[in-house]
Amino acid sequence: MEKTHNNALNILKQIRSAGFTAYFAGGAVRDKLLGRTPKDYDIATNALPEQIEDLFPKTVAVGKAFGVIMVVQNGIETEVATFREDAGYQDGRRPDSVHFCGAEEDAKRRDFTINGMFYDPIADEVIDTIGGKADLKKKVIRAIGDPDRRFAEDHLRMLRAVRFAHTLGFSIDPSTRDAIQAHAADLAKISMERIENDFSRTLVESIRPGDALSELVELGLMEHIVPEILPMIGQEQPPEFHPEGDVFEHTVLMLNLMKNPNRPLAYTVLLHDVGKPDTAFMGEDRIRFHGHETLSATMAEEILRRLRLPVKEIRQIVTAVAGHMRFKDVQKMNRSTLRKLMGAETFDLELELHRIDCSGSHGLLENYEFLLEKAEEMANEPVLPEHWISGKDLRELGVEPGPHIGELLKKAYDAQLEGRFSDRAALLDWLKESI
């Protein structure tokens, strides 16, 4: 990050040396005051876009009409934006037009007070005209000016308010909160790509992601993100297995129990029981959810495709959701089945889901500990060795093409994994006799 800072500082100094005003802006200032290392640095200036383009040999006009130019130096992109006021937001995303202004007017059009400050690194001075420092001290997320206007300008700001609150450990100012509830339905006008980015970051970066999920529900935003979550609220579960409460409370608790989550884990936890409400029925002894893992996997795929997650991640999440009930039987599995389970690409994801699932319900971790022991035991042997027998081998033995080949290949691989034969030749002889 030091390289990114130094690069941005050099750009700022070049703008200053040409006679213009230039400050660091937004999140970098907020993070500096919080004692955090900024991930990137944005520069705000009174220089016009064309003047920035003249100053630097390599630029990208990412939003020139809105005063935004990307300056590329040393392979690093730094956003440089001209101070501006926005006029009208018909699409709830971009201003209809802008006109350039001074720093104080520019600050007023930004989203939240904690993001509306500037920093002069030369004078080591924070320029705060909207009360950002006070709100940082109070740990409050407050819209700048009229919150209704701020959220009408860009509907995604409502979701960003929740993300900032839960990643920083802040609360949302009551008037800002009221405005979010009043405008929540407008989130449906935002593209799923933009929603996914902020929602995923909320799940992955929040201090307690489950609490963030609860607040998204309370504010009325969740029904415009993943509405399939809402039926989980109030869906009872058998207390002997789930003393923590209903399916939603279970999911909230699990999200809060994640350690250093990534996006696949966060969505696997979020969606692993999403099919429970539709499969719930009262059995002879208790509420049951037969096949909920299969329906949850189907629903998860639909949800994740709608959110536009990468295909590889969708496959991993859906596989983990579909297989999460297998873990209750791991101590009963034969060696070949266990080795195939542990050798799967998604095993680490599934194992962590199992740990969190148990920790967020009955608290029994015997199967988790059993798998850790088996993983150590199998560490020096290939969990999934190459198949000794192929379909070509079976065809050469006279087996006709069809489903029977798949059944025989599975039978041969299970025998191989169980160590019943010393080598390929012995296994092939046994298959000849079986055929």
Between 393 and 49, residue with greater pLDDT: 49
Q: Are residues 127 and 205 in the same domain?
A: no
The whole-number average pLDDT for the span 55-74 is 92
149 sits in which H/E element: helix 147-153
Q: Which of 4-13, 63-72, 249-258, 311-320 has the lowest mean pLDDT?
A: 63-72
Residue 313: inside a domain: yes
pLDDT mean across residues, the chain: 91
Of 192, 354, 171, nearest to 257 by C-alpha is: 354
pLDDT at 413 over 90: no
Please tell me the predicted confidence (pLDDT) of residue 90. 58
What does the block give as tokens for 321? 């959701």
The number of domains in the chain is 4
Please tell me the predicted confidence (pLDDT) of residue 222. 98
Q: Are residues 205 and 295 in the same domain?
A: no
Residue 52: inside a domain: yes
Backbone angles phi, psi at 65, to 5 degrees: -65, -25
The whole-number average pLDDT for the span 251-270 is 97
Please tell me the predicted confidence (pLDDT) of residue 97. 57
Share in percent of the chain as helix, strand, coil (round to 5): 55, 10, 35
pTM score of the predicted model? 0.84
Residue 11: inside a domain: yes
pLDDT single digits (tens) 330-374: 999 988 788 888 888 899 999 999 999 999 998 889 999 999 998
Please tell me the predicted confidence (pLDDT) of residue 10. 96
Q: Are residues 62 and 100 in the same domain?
A: yes
Please tell me the predicted confidence (pLDDT) of residue 418. 72
Q: Are residues 8 and 115 in the same domain?
A: yes
pLDDT class of 229 with cuts at 50, 70, 90: very high
The whole-number average pLDDT for the span 372-397 is 79
Please tell me the predicted confidence (pLDDT) of residue 96. 60
- Assign 120 to helix, strand or coil: strand
Q: Are residues 267 and 363 in the same domain?
A: yes
The whole-number average pLDDT for the span 285-304 is 91
Please tell me the predicted confidence (pLDDT) of residue 133. 97
Please tell me the predicted confidence (pLDDT) of residue 131. 96
Between 406 and 83, residue with greater pLDDT: 83
201 sits in which H/E element: helix 192-205
Please tell me the predicted confidence (pLDDT) of residue 31. 96
Apex CA 379: angle with CA 375 and CA 380, to 5°?
Answer: 155
Of 204, 138, 144, nearest to 171 by C-alpha is: 138
The DSSP 8-state label assigned to residue 353 in this structure reads H
**d(Cα 215, Cα 201) in Å, to the nearest integer?**
15
State whether the Cα torsion 292-294-298-303 is positive or negative. Answer: positive
Token pair 């884990």 is at which residue? 265
pLDDT at 236 over 90: no
What is the number of H-type helices and E-type strands within the chain?
A: 21, 13
Task: Write the CATH number for 35.
Answer: 3.30.460.10
Q: Are residues 128 and 146 in the same domain?
A: no
Please tell me the predicted confidence (pLDDT) of residue 174. 98
pLDDT class of 138 with cuts at 50, 70, 90: very high
Between 405 and 21, residue with greater pLDDT: 21
Instruction: Single out the residue in 100, 132, 164 at which a domain terminates.
Output: 132
pLDDT at 185 over 80: yes
Instruction: Single out the residue in 75, 104, 132 at which a domain terminates.
Output: 132
Q: Are residues 1 and 128 in the same domain?
A: yes
Residue 386: inside a domain: no
Q: Are 38 and 79 within 8 A, CB to CB?
A: no
pLDDT at 165 over 90: yes
Cα Rg for the chain, rounded, in angstroms? 28
Q: Would you tell me the crossing angle of helices 347-359 and 263-271 to the nearest 10 degrees?
A: 50
pLDDT class of 13 with cuts at 50, 70, 90: very high
The whole-number average pLDDT for the span 150-162 is 96
Domain membership of residue 126 as a residue range: 1-132
Q: Are residues 290 and 264 in the same domain?
A: yes
Q: Which of 34-48, 184-198, 374-388 has the lowest mean pLDDT?
A: 374-388
Instruction: Single out the residue in 108, 132, 156 at which a domain terminates.
Output: 132
pLDDT single digits (tens) 73-115: 999 999 999 999 876 555 556 666 578 889 999 999 999 999 9
Residue 385: inside a domain: no
By residue count, the chain amounts to: 435
Q: Are residues 105 and 146 in the same domain?
A: no
Q: Are residues 371 and 260 in the same domain?
A: yes
Q: Are residues 200 and 305 in the same domain?
A: no
The whole-number average pLDDT for the span 400-422 is 78
Residue 230: inside a domain: no
Q: Are residues 1 and 36 in the same domain?
A: yes
Residue 81: inside a domain: yes
Residue 278: inside a domain: yes
